[in-house]
A = this chain, B = another copy of it.
């Protein structure tokens, strides 16, 4: 009988980091929230050491910000950081589309078309919620990203999306008109990928990404701030606002 690993069933720092990341991207933790090492240690039944390591991992992914002697906070992107992040995402998204058009397999192409059909159904249905549509677009781009076959770029765009996607991504799919416009863009992109036309796919991806950002920004400027804030209690404006910057 080989000795059981003592860490069996125990949360390691990467486990904790994954879990906290999930809490952040799901909205359970909101930007600016304080991450107490004591609370997290208690929640995961470990000591504060592994929690600190997990927070360091999330720090270098720009999901949390650690202020000396203050602790860790869920990172809230400033407006200008949203801009540069979306700009970066535009380039990477275009790269993924271009690569996918070069490399997508038969079965992946079938998957992509299946996800596109789902998007078509949701775009046509007035009762579709923004969240439903957003999840469907996630499924679509996941197939696309896999088809690009570059895990490095895949991780980069995932990181970029996490930082900004969940408060912002909704906005470009708020109305049915927007969802139909999004679907149309995805349809054209799928056609370019089907035709294995990297140039066209890349250009389309870039334009559709920029258009989505523009729609979301317009909407964000148009509607009252309260609608953008997460439901529930508002953030105190005087709260210390950690800024994203290189960790190293």
Contact = CB atoms under 8 A, between A and B. Distances in A.
A152 B85 contact: yes
Contacts of A49: 49, 52
A87 interface: yes
A78 B48 CA distance: 35
Interface residues of A, number: 38
Interface string A73-103: 0000000010011011001100100010000
Main secondary structure of the interface of A (DSSP, over half): helix
A150 B52 contact: no
A52 B92 CA distance: 32
A168 to B, nearest CB: 15
A36 interface: no
Contacts of A54: 56
A153 interface: yes
Contacts of A81: 152
Interface in A1-20: 7, 12-14, 17-18
A188 interface: no
A224 interface: no
Contacts of A58: 248
A146 to B, nearest CB: 13
20 contacts: A13-B56, A14-B247, A17-B247, A17-B248, A21-B248, A53-B53, A57-B57, A57-B59, A57-B60, A58-B248, A60-B61, A85-B152, A87-B99, A87-B150, A87-B153, A91-B91, A91-B153, A152-B160, A155-B246, A156-B156
Given A12-B68, A53-B56, A87-B153, 15 more contacts: A14-B248, A21-B248, A54-B56, A56-B56, A57-B248, A60-B61, A81-B152, A84-B151, A87-B99, A87-B152, A88-B95, A88-B153, A91-B91, A151-B246, A156-B156
